[in-house]
Amino acid sequence: MLVSACLLGARVRYDGALRADPAEVLARWLREERVVPLCPEVDGGLPVPRPPAERQLDGRIVTSEGVDVTGAFARGAARAVELAKLHEATIAVLKEGSPSCGSGFVYDGSFTRRRVPGGQGVTVLALRALGVRVFSEQEWAEADAALRAI
């Protein structure tokens, strides 16, 4: 299974902050060696720290400074697909709200923290097109049930 590296404690978020999730289920997955960490944004070539980025209405991803980083996000999504194929991953738990990893919402591109319910990040779209079931970090139990059903 693929898991956002930031949820594993890696400092890869745009702001360099630590966002490890101490979920019991995640600890078990790590012990069972089921986890393949990824950060599509870093894998796509973006630095840490970096300015926040949001998906625009036209599909581009732009930083708060106005720099178009769509290409880096696309490269990161392609790398996630490669990892899923390489490791035969059928499940992913990714960071909600991210323009890469958001599976239930993304931000609307205005940098005002307004959410687009149902919005999906570019990596989520790519993984779902591959048939990978994507969950957010609020859905550990659902992801665990899906993993156990395999």
Asked if 22 and 58 count as a contact pair (C-beta separation under 8 A), the reply is: no
Number of structural domains in the chain:
1
State pLDDT tens for residues 67-106.
Answer: 999 999 999 999 999 999 999 999 999 999 999 999 999 9
Asked if 84 and 3 count as a contact pair (C-beta separation under 8 A), the reply is: no
- Which stretches in the chain have pLDDT values below 50? none
Residue 29 in any domain: the answer is yes
Which structural domain range is residue 89 located in? 2-52+72-104+118-148
* Residues whose CB falls within 8 Å of the CB of residue 24, separated by 6 or more in sequence, listed in order: none
Residue 58 in any domain: the answer is no
Residue 9 in any domain: the answer is yes
* Residues whose CB falls within 8 Å of the CB of residue 84, separated by 6 or more in sequence, listed in order: 2, 92, 127, 130, 132
Asked if 136 and 84 count as a contact pair (C-beta separation under 8 A), the reply is: no
Q: How far apart are CA 144 and CA 150, in angstroms?
A: 10
